[in-house]
Structure 1
Amino acid sequence: MARMTAMRGCLLATAVIAGSLAALLPGKAALAGSFQVNPVNINLPADKATAALTIRNEDDAPLSVRISAFAWTQENGADVYTPTKDVLATPPIVTIPAKGSQTVRVGLRKRDTSAERTYRVIVEEIPQQIEGKTAVQMVLRLNLPLYALPKTEGKSELSWSAWRDTDGNMVVEGRNSGSLHEQVLELNAKTASGKSINLSKTMGVVLPGSARQWKIGKPEGLTPGASFQLVTKTAHGENQESLTLEKR
């Protein structure tokens, strides 16, 4: 089964250029639709069969979009998407009038409420067919997380480690031994001398029973063997943990 490593971030809005490098050719117009999706985090409680997704067309012309899904896991500290038919979107393809909106119901074919299941829902514009015009179309593609929540109440439990890799770059890894995902908003470090260093403002999610890595680079003041306080800002607040920067 084909798999795709995901880009980091809980919400990814990317413009995909039809025709690959055709966007670089001079003398061609660029066409793009505009739409909003609410909510950007889709939570499916154990006692609900579906969740509602509202898509609003901000354009002055009708807009068609398709909804697809991937199973979302993490391997070797990175997000991995796997094509799946587990997620149902009703309807899977919609045409929304100018300045109008459409509600799409998202659910699972077979629900297992014993543990949290995670997916990514892709809402993607369908390129327009324009006769007699030469244009490059910008296709808007939104990537949304879907959390199918378990029946029993749970929580995330993060532990952290940090090291310098063979290239000398710092890597910070969060490992989640809990039963629910955790959304990490920011990573900072406080050195033994009291210096505060921003490590990353790249938002990421650590899935239950998984690990996620942040590639930091080479921040000054943090050398292999140095002790520091890792300050993590999550959706549930701020935490500190004492770490030693390892060398691997």
Structure 2
Amino acid sequence: MIQPASTLRRFRFAFVAAALLALPAAWAAEFSVTPIRVDLKPGVLTETITVTNNANSKLRVSIKLQEWTQDANGVDVYTDSNDLVYFPRQLELEPQAKRLVRVGLKTPAGVVERAYRLYIEEDREPSAGVERPQVSFYLRFGVAVFLAPAVPKPQPEVGQPKLAGGKLSVAVKNAGNEHFRLSRVALSDGASFNTEIPGWYSLAGSTRTYTLEVPSEVCRRARSLNLTLEGEEGLRIDRKLDVDPANCA
């Protein structure tokens, strides 16, 4: 009997998952990084990041810088960069030890904020002598680094929400020269229905669309929907949309 494609996909996924569970795991070391965000504001030339080895074994990590931009759909894009000074680029930490990583400017701030991720990643141990395949897990932290413009001005612009096929979408644009971050995007019918999705960074000049599902029974009985966007620094923007049942799922 020929199985439907969906059934075959589920079977393949289950087979792969079972195969992974059957393999011994080589767990990552335990380490932490603070802070997880660095702001190089005007007048601040360098900052430090602390890497702590919380394990009882020696830890080796490598450090790599990538420029952080967003494409036309607001999707994060990372590319290797040497725009900033950061050192050391490799660390070896004894058990329970701490080491500092310094990050600083090469060039002064411009008129538009520049964003980066400084990745601190556990080095992979050689697998010599391992007789069976292993699934290995390694930790990687991406510290957000922002090089603020001389005159920062974030400017969020939230479009009118649209409802189509039971999905509500709203475009969020950053018309300013500095990032802002939404913590959540919440939707309510003013009665019993409430849902939300996490927000994200909006880098300078980017546009990102957030989409929330509206159950058909909620959509058809609601006269209007209330959308709330909340973010850092007390940011809050409210929008209201009158519901046309024809746009419900």
TM tier, smaller: 0.7 to 0.9
Deviations 1:32-77 (A, max 9, x none): 1111111111111121222211111111111111111222122213
Q: Which amino acid aligns with 2:24?
A: K
Q: TM-score, normalised by structure 1?
A: 0.77
Q: After superposition, where does 1:47-58 map in structure 2 within 5 Å? A: 47-58=43-54
Q: TM-score, normalised by structure 2?
A: 0.76
Q: Which amino acid aligns with 1:91?
A: P
Q: Which amino acid aligns with 1:148?
A: L
**Structure 2 match to 1:11:** none
In structure 2, C-alpha distance between the alignment counterparts of 1:97 and 1:114, rounded to whole Å: 43
- Asked if 2 retains the 8 angstrom alpha-carbon contact of 1:120 and 1:145, the reply is yes
In structure 1, C-alpha distance between the alignment counterparts of 2:176 and 2:26, rounded to whole Å: 46
Deviates more, 1:25-34 or 1:36-45: 25-34
Deviation at 1:176, TM superposition (A): 1.4
Name the structure where strand makes up a greater proportion of residues. 1
Pick one of 49, 52, 60 that aligns with 1:64. Answer: 60
Task: Call closer, same or farther: CA 1:27–1:46 in 2, change over 3 Å.
Answer: same
Task: Call closer, same or farther: CA 1:207–1:29 in 2, change over 3 Å.
Answer: closer
**Structure 1 match to 2:108:** 111
- Identify which of structures 1 and 2 has the higher relative contact order when contacts are C-alpha pairs closer than 8 Å and 6+ apart: 1
- Asked if 1 retains the 8 angstrom alpha-carbon contact of 2:113 and 2:147, the reply is yes
Identity of aligned residues (%): 25
1:212 aligns with 2:208: yes
Deviation at 1:126, TM superposition (A): 0.6
Task: Call closer, same or farther: CA 1:103–1:43 in 2, change over 3 Å.
Answer: same
In structure 2, C-alpha distance between the alignment counterparts of 1:35 and 1:101, rounded to whole Å: 10
- Asked if 1 retains the 8 angstrom alpha-carbon contact of 2:42 and 2:148, the reply is yes
- Asked if 1 retains the 8 angstrom alpha-carbon contact of 2:113 and 2:149, the reply is yes
SS in 2 for 1:236: helix
In structure 2, C-alpha distance between the alignment counterparts of 1:63 and 1:151, rounded to whole Å: 39
**Structure 2 match to 1:177:** 175
Q: Which amino acid aligns with 1:154?
A: K
CA RMSD after TM alignment: 3.0
Pick one of 129, 132, 139 that aligns with 1:132. Answer: 129
Name the structure where helix makes up a greater proportion of residues. 2
In structure 2, C-alpha distance between the alignment counterparts of 1:73 and 1:87, rounded to whole Å: 15
In structure 2, C-alpha distance between the alignment counterparts of 1:186 and 1:74, rounded to whole Å: 19
In structure 1, C-alpha distance between the alignment counterparts of 2:68 and 2:123, rounded to whole Å: 23
In structure 2, C-alpha distance between the alignment counterparts of 1:101 and 1:136, rounded to whole Å: 28
Deviation at 1:229, TM superposition (A): 2.8
Structure 1, gaps ≥5 residues long: 1-19
Deviation at 1:143, TM superposition (A): 1.9
**Structure 1 match to 2:154:** 155
- Asked if 1 retains the 8 angstrom alpha-carbon contact of 2:20 and 2:135, the reply is no
Name the count of aligned residue pairs: 224
Task: Call closer, same or farther: CA 1:137–1:154 in 2, change over 3 Å.
Answer: same
SS in 2 for 1:64: strand
Task: Call closer, same or farther: CA 1:143–1:217 in 2, change over 3 Å.
Answer: farther
Deviation at 1:160, TM superposition (A): 3.5
**Structure 2 match to 1:8:** none
Task: Call closer, same or farther: CA 1:212–1:226 in 2, change over 3 Å.
Answer: farther
